[in-house]
Chain A
C-alpha cells in the first residue's frame, strides 16, 4: 500500500491533468452542445497551438506564455472561417465528425512536415520549477494550466449565464426558430462561438507545450479521455469538462498508483462506454 504522501501526490497530479482535460474539452463541449457540431479537429488545432508555442519559445527565445497573445486570436479567425464553411455546405452533425476527422489528419501531417515526428520538448523556466506545499510537489506549469482552465471555464459559464449574447446562444441551442422570432441571429452567434472554441484550443495547446513532450501522434492520445469528460460533464456546460475531467484524472492517477500505470487509460474509455450505454440521453 503506497504511502499517504504518494497517494496525495497522485491525487494532485490527477487534478492537474484533469484541469487540462477540462481546458481541452471546453471548446469541444461548446461547439457540440450549442452548435451540434462535433469538432474532432479541436485536438489537432490544440497541438498546432502547442507547436507554435514551442516555436515562440525555442526559436524566438520568448517566454512561452507570450504565445497566448498571438495564437488564440489567430485561431479565433480560423474558427470563424471553419464555421462559415460548415454553414455554407450545410454539414450535418455526423458529417461534421467525418470532415473534422479528415481535417485532423491534415493538420497532423502539417505538423509533422514542419516540425518532423521527432519529440519536441519546450525547455523553459516553467518546465522544471515547482513549489513545495507540505511535502507535496506543485509544478508551476501545471498549476498555471489548472488556473487557466478554471478561469476560462468560469468566465465562459458566466458569459453564457449573464450576458445577452450568452442567453441568446443558449436559446438558439434549444429552439433556433423561436429564438429568431425574438431577434436572435443564429448565424452570427454560431460564428462567434466557433471562433471562441478554436481560441480555447490555442490556449490549451500552449499549456500542453509547457507540460508535455510533443509528438504528432500524441494528438490521438487525448481524444478518448477528453470526449469522456465532455460527455460526462454534459454537453454545452462550460464547467462540465473541468469537473468531469478532474474526476477522471484523479481516478486515473489513483489507478496508476494502486494498480498499475498501464491500466490508467482504461478508466476514461470504460467510463465513456458505460455512459453511452446506460445514459445515451445525456448526449
Chain B
C-alpha cells in the first residue's frame, strides 16, 4: 500500500537519507529502528509530506505522492504522530483532536470519531477541556495518537512514540498500538527503542547513517550483527 522507492532527502546540501526503499502492506505494522541521527525522523516527515523529497518516489495506493502539497497529504489517508508529540499546547485536548479531522471530507465524521477516540483513551474524555500543554507526557502521546486517528487514516505514521516517556507508559502506548493493529490499521513505526519496536512489528528495517542496512522479520534481525553494530559500533 505504501511504497517508498530509493528516497533521497537532503537539508541544503547535507543528505539526510539516501537510497531508502521500504514498503508497508495493508494492515501491516512495520518498524524502522536505528540510532539517533540515522535519519528516522527525516524519513517519516518526508513520507508525511512535511519535507521536500530530493530524489526517489513515494507511492500510496495507486497515487504518486512525491510532489504533493503539504496540506493535501492528510486527505489521502496518511496521518502522522510526530516526534515529541507536537500538540497545539494552547488549545484544549478536544480542539487538538478536532484538528485531526480538519479536512473538508473528514469534518462530518467529527462526532463519531471523537467518540471512538474517547473510547480508546477514556482519560482524554475526562480532560477534554484542558489545555493540551498541561497534560502529562503519556497523556499527550495519547492525544497525538488520537489526533491522527481523527483523520480516519489508512496508514498511521508514528515517530518515536516512546520518546521521553516512563517505561510503564510506554507499555501502555504500545498496547494501544497493538490493539489498533489488530483492528486492521496499517502502521509505520519509527523507534529508537529496539525491543518495543520489534515486539509489535511483523516486519522491520534497520536505518543507520541515512541508509537501510538490514530488513526482515524481528527474529531474524535480532540474530544479525547489524543492529548491534548500528547501536554499539562493533
Are the C-beta atoms of B49 and A181 separated by less than 8 Å? yes
Within 8 A of A (CB), among B132-154: 147, 151
A164's partner among B75, B82, B86, B107 (CB-CB below 8 A) is B107
B88's partner among A174, A180, A185, A186 (CB-CB below 8 A) is A174
Are the C-beta atoms of B151 and A182 separated by less than 8 Å? yes
CB within 8 Å for A182 and B91 given contacts A167-B99, A168-B102: no
CB within 8 Å for A170 and B88 given contacts A180-B50, A181-B48: yes
Are the C-beta atoms of B70 and A170 separated by less than 8 Å? no
Residues of B within 8 Å of A62, CB to CB, are none
Are the C-beta atoms of A180 and B91 separated by less than 8 Å? no
B91's partner among A164, A167, A183, A186 (CB-CB below 8 A) is A167
B103's partner among A174, A178, A182 (CB-CB below 8 A) is A182
Residues of B within 8 Å of A180, CB to CB, are 49-50, 70-71
B89 on the interface (CB 8 Å rule)? Answer: yes
CB within 8 Å for A167 and B102 given contacts A174-B90, A181-B74, A182-B147: yes
Are the C-beta atoms of A168 and B99 separated by less than 8 Å? yes
A175 on the interface (CB 8 Å rule)? Answer: yes
Per-residue contact bits, chain A 110-144, to B (CB 8 Å; 1 contact, 0 not): 00000000000000000000000000000000000
Are the C-beta atoms of B91 and A171 separated by less than 8 Å? yes
B100 on the interface (CB 8 Å rule)? Answer: yes
Per-residue contact bits, chain B 72-104, to A (CB 8 Å; 1 contact, 0 not): 111100011010001011110001001110110
Chain B interfacial residues counted at CB < 8 A: 27
A177 on the interface (CB 8 Å rule)? Answer: yes
Are the C-beta atoms of A171 and B71 separated by less than 8 Å? no
Are the C-beta atoms of A174 and B102 separated by less than 8 Å? no
Per-residue contact bits, chain A 49-65, to B (CB 8 Å; 1 contact, 0 not): 00000000000000000
Are the C-beta atoms of A182 and B79 separated by less than 8 Å? yes
Per-residue contact bits, chain A 134-174, to B (CB 8 Å; 1 contact, 0 not): 00000000000000000000000000000010011011001
Are the C-beta atoms of A164 and B50 separated by less than 8 Å? no
What is the CB-to-nearest-CB distance from A236 to chain B, in angstroms, rounded to a whole number? 9
Residues of A within 8 Å of B73, CB to CB, are 181
Residues of B within 8 Å of A24, CB to CB, are none
A184 on the interface (CB 8 Å rule)? Answer: yes
B74's partner among A168, A177, A183, A186 (CB-CB below 8 A) is A183
Residues of B within 8 Å of A167, CB to CB, are 91, 95, 98-99, 102
A136 CA to B103 CA in the complex, in Å?
A: 53
Residues of A within 8 Å of B49, CB to CB, are 180-181
A180 CA to B69 CA in the complex, in Å?
A: 9
B102's partner among A175, A183, A186 (CB-CB below 8 A) is A183
A180 CA to B68 CA in the complex, in Å?
A: 12
Binding site for A on B (CB under 8 A): 48-50, 70-75, 79-80, 82, 86, 88-91, 95, 98-100, 102-103, 106-107, 147, 151
Binding site for B on A (CB under 8 A): 164, 167-168, 170-171, 174-175, 177-186
Given contacts A167-B91, A177-B70, 18 further A-B contacts (CB under 8 A): A164-B102, A164-B107, A167-B98, A168-B102, A171-B91, A171-B99, A178-B88, A180-B50, A180-B71, A181-B48, A181-B49, A181-B70, A181-B73, A181-B79, A182-B74, A183-B103, A184-B102, A185-B71
A-B contact pairs, 7 of them (CB 8 A): A167-B99, A168-B99, A178-B50, A181-B48, A181-B79, A183-B72, A183-B75
